[in-house]
């Protein structure tokens, strides 16, 4: 329905407001018309009286007297001059005077009240109008007249004012309607159509609105909408990549698990070796393979499904971090990178051991890769402490720090990587795992002197 549209309602409101404005103008206009009408009758009466006074010895035929009264549209005329009150012209009146109107003392309220009284109660009444003669033609002039013609003239004038006002309101409303429709309606409709188009294909970047509104407010709205659609489009594309990644991981998890299971059996046989170096490394290799097999079995793929809820248990912090350090030392090889740990021997952690291992391993591996890529080497220190009901684990390196883009997109998959070719999934996965523990993972420092990550876990 047209009146339910913004344009239709604006058109209706415009007509209503214009008519209200005309009503506010109508009352004083009609009141002024009534005053002008009465003053005109007094002026005609004065002219008629002066005509009579100009005749020698007031010798004027009775026909002329009646013609003068008819022309003035009054019953009789009284003129006061030189302190004398004189009945200049007279004719029979239908009845006595019903109302006296003194035009010498008028106010806006009295004029409006008189106009309303004439329209509501006027008709067969006889009114006596009093006023000052123009151009010093005397002290006072009075005229008696019928109110019926006055009321008829006021009604006729009111009708003309009404139709004129109504026509003007329609014309003004029409002009405002087309102006508003062009200035407001068209931009709004354009935004609505664009939103509908974007909704149908949010992954199509061609559907993102191009701001070009001429009105500043609408242009700002289109800019904000374009930014929102750009972010949503990027998020959907990112989610699509994550879903694809999750699907790929789930497809290869079964075969990879079989391969790792075979490797685990071979590692088990290494434990039978009498070589001291093999005996020292074999248990750690078996533990690493067990974690890999467990990871494949649970199919923890970021983007395809949520991470499993953590299974909390109490374990030694030193043992877990030592496993991470030993695994990274093997990966360092001959690079000039040193890794150390500062963990109280008796400190215990309350968390999912496998998930926490993944988090610390991810952070340590990132630090090691940055230091190795820098070719200058450096140090990595993993420390742990307790306080304020929390367990705190810190991974600190002496690398060059993270680039601005990596800091701005920290913990965002495919955006927060600090090295070329990285995906940023490690940090995103780590943040999710720690959040599932009701803990926090944050980067507390990153300068050209190094980067520090801090894991905070609540104690039981």
What is the rounded CA–CA span in Å between residue 337 and residue 377?
A: 5
User: 2-6, 295-299, 311-315, 453-457 — which is least confidently predicted?
Assistant: 295-299
Q: Which of 217, 244, 271 is the last residue of a domain?
A: 244
Give the bridge partners for 127, in sequence order: 99, 145
Claim to verify: residue 152 and residue 233 sit in the same structural domain: no
Give the bridge partners for 455, in sequence order: 393, 441
Asked if residue 343 has pLDDT above 90, the reply is yes
Asked if residue 426 has pLDDT above 70, the reply is yes
Q: What is the mean pLDDT of residues 126-155?
A: 85
In a domain, 388, yes or no: yes
In a domain, 168, yes or no: yes
User: 240-244, 355-359, 388-392 — which is least confidently predicted?
Assistant: 240-244
Number of helices followed by number of strands (H, E) in the chain: 11, 12
Claim to verify: residue 370 and residue 448 sit in the same structural domain: yes
pLDDT at 54: 65
User: 287-291, 298-302, 360-364 — which is least confidently predicted?
Assistant: 298-302
* Domain count within the chain: 3
Give the residue with greater pLDDT, 438 vs 66. 438
CB-count burial class (<10 Å; 0-12, 13-18, 19+) for 88: buried
Claim to verify: residue 234 and residue 352 sit in the same structural domain: no
In the DSSP assignment, the letter for residue 314 is E
Q: What is the mean pLDDT of residues 378-406?
A: 90
- Band (pLDDT 50/70/90 cuts) for residue 259 is low
Asked if residue 303 has pLDDT above 50, the reply is no
Claim to verify: residue 162 and residue 45 sit in the same structural domain: yes
Mean pLDDT for the chain? Answer: 79
**In this predicted model, what pLDDT tens digit does every residue of 148-163 receive, in sequence order?**
899 999 989 888 888 8
Top-confidence range, 120-129, 189-198, 219-228, 255-264: 120-129
Domain harbouring 427, CATH code: 3.30.565.10
Share of the chain above pLDDT 70, in %: 78
- Band (pLDDT 50/70/90 cuts) for residue 321 is very high
Three-state SS letters, 127-185 = EEEEECCHHHCCCEEEEEEECHHHHHHHHHHHHHHHHHHHHHHHHHHHHHHHHHHHHHH
Claim to verify: residue 341 and residue 403 sit in the same structural domain: yes
Claim to verify: residue 9 and residue 157 sit in the same structural domain: yes
Q: What is the mean pLDDT of residues 22-32?
A: 81
**In this predicted model, what pLDDT tens digit does every residue of 359-390 receive, in sequence order?**
998 899 888 888 888 778 899 999 999 988 99
pLDDT at 304: 46
In a domain, 441, yes or no: yes
pLDDT at 302: 44
Give the residue with greater pLDDT, 290 vs 123. 123
Top-confidence range, 82-91, 204-213, 286-295: 204-213
- Band (pLDDT 50/70/90 cuts) for residue 397 is very high
In a domain, 261, yes or no: no
Q: Which of 172, 189, 218 is the last residue of a domain?
A: 172
Rg over alpha carbons for the chain, rounded to the nearest Å, is 49
pLDDT at 350: 94
- Band (pLDDT 50/70/90 cuts) for residue 262 is low
pLDDT at 305: 47
In a domain, 339, yes or no: yes
- Band (pLDDT 50/70/90 cuts) for residue 273 is low
Give the residue with greater pLDDT, 105 vs 295. 105
- Band (pLDDT 50/70/90 cuts) for residue 291 is low
Give the residue with greater pLDDT, 17 vs 126. 126
In a domain, 275, yes or no: no
Claim to verify: residue 422 and residue 336 sit in the same structural domain: yes
Contact partners, residue 208, CB within 8 Å, separation at least 6: 198, 226, 229, 230, 233
Q: Which domain holds residue 137?
A: 2-172
Claim to verify: residue 22 and residue 158 sit in the same structural domain: yes
pTM higher than 0.85: no
Q: Which of 181, 213, 244 is the last residue of a domain?
A: 244
Top-confidence range, 231-235, 331-335, 356-360: 356-360
Top-confidence range, 58-62, 133-137, 190-194, 252-256: 190-194
* Residue 386 burial (CB count, 10 A): 14
In a domain, 263, yes or no: no
Claim to verify: residue 348 and residue 446 sit in the same structural domain: yes
Claim to verify: residue 8 and residue 149 sit in the same structural domain: yes
Residue whose C-alpha is closest to residue 37's, from 180, 123, 173, 143: 143
Claim to verify: residue 167 and residue 210 sit in the same structural domain: no
Token pair of 177, please?
């309607």
Claim to verify: residue 419 and residue 343 sit in the same structural domain: yes
Q: What is the mean pLDDT of residues 437-457?
A: 92
In a domain, 46, yes or no: yes
pLDDT at 307: 63
pLDDT at 80: 81
């Amino acid at each position: 329905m047209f009146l339910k549209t913004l344009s239709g309602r604006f058109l209706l409101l415009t007509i209503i407001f214009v008519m209200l404005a005309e009503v506010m103008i109508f009352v004083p206009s009609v009141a002024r018309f009534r005053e002008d009408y009465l003053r005109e009758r007094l002026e005609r009466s004065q002219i008629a009286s002066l005509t009579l006074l100009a005749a020698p010895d007031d010798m004027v035929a009775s026909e002329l007297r009646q013609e003068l009264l008819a022309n003035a549209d009054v019953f009789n005329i009284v003129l006061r001059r030189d302190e004398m009150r004189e009945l200049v012209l007279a004719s029979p009146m239908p009845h006595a005077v019903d109302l006296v109107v003194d035009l010498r003392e008028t106010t806006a309220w009295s004029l409006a009240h008189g106009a309303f009284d004439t329209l509501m109660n006027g008709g067969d009444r006889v009114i006596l109008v009093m006023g000052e003669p123009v151009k010093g033609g005397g002290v006072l002039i009075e005229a008696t007249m019928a109110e019926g013609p006055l009321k008829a003239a006021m009604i006729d004038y009111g009708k003309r004012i009404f139709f004129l006002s109504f026509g003007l309101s329609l014309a003004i409303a029409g002009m405002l309607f087309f102006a508003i429709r062009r200035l407001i309606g068209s931009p709004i409709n354009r935004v609505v159509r664009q939103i509908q188009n974007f909704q149908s294909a949010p992954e199509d970047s061609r559907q993102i609105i191009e701001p070009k509104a001429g009105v500043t407010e609408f242009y700002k709205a289109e800019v904000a909408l374009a930014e929102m659609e750009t972010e949503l489009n990027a998020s959907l594309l990112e989610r699509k990549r994550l879903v694809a990644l999750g699907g790929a991981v789930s497809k290869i998890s079964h075969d990879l698990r079989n391969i790792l299971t075979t490797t685990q059996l071979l590692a088990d046989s290494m434990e039978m070796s009498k070589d001291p170096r093999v005996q020292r490394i074999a248990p750690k290799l078996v533990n690493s393979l067990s974690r890999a097999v467990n990871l494949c079995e649970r199919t923890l793929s970021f983007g395809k499904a949520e991470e499993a809820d953590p299974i909390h248990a109490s374990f030694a912090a030193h043992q877990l971090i030592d496993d991470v350090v030993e695994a990274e030392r093997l990966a360092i090889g001959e690079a000039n990178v040193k890794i150390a740990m500062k963990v109280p021997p008796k400190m215990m952690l309350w968390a999912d051991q496998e998930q926490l291992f993944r988090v610390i391993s991810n952070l340590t591996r990132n630090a090691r890769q940055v230091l190795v890529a820098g070719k200058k080497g450096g140090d990595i220190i993993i420390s742990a402490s307790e306080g304020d009901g929390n367990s705190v684990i810190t991974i600190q390196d002496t690398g060059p720090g993270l680039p601005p883009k990596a800091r701005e997109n920290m913990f965002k998959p495919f955006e927060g990587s600090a090295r070329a070719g990285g995906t940023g999934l490690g940090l995103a996965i780590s943040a999710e795992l720690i959040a599932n523990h009701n803990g926090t993972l944050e980067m507390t420092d990153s300068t050209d002197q190094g980067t520090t990550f801090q894991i905070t876990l609540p104690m039981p």
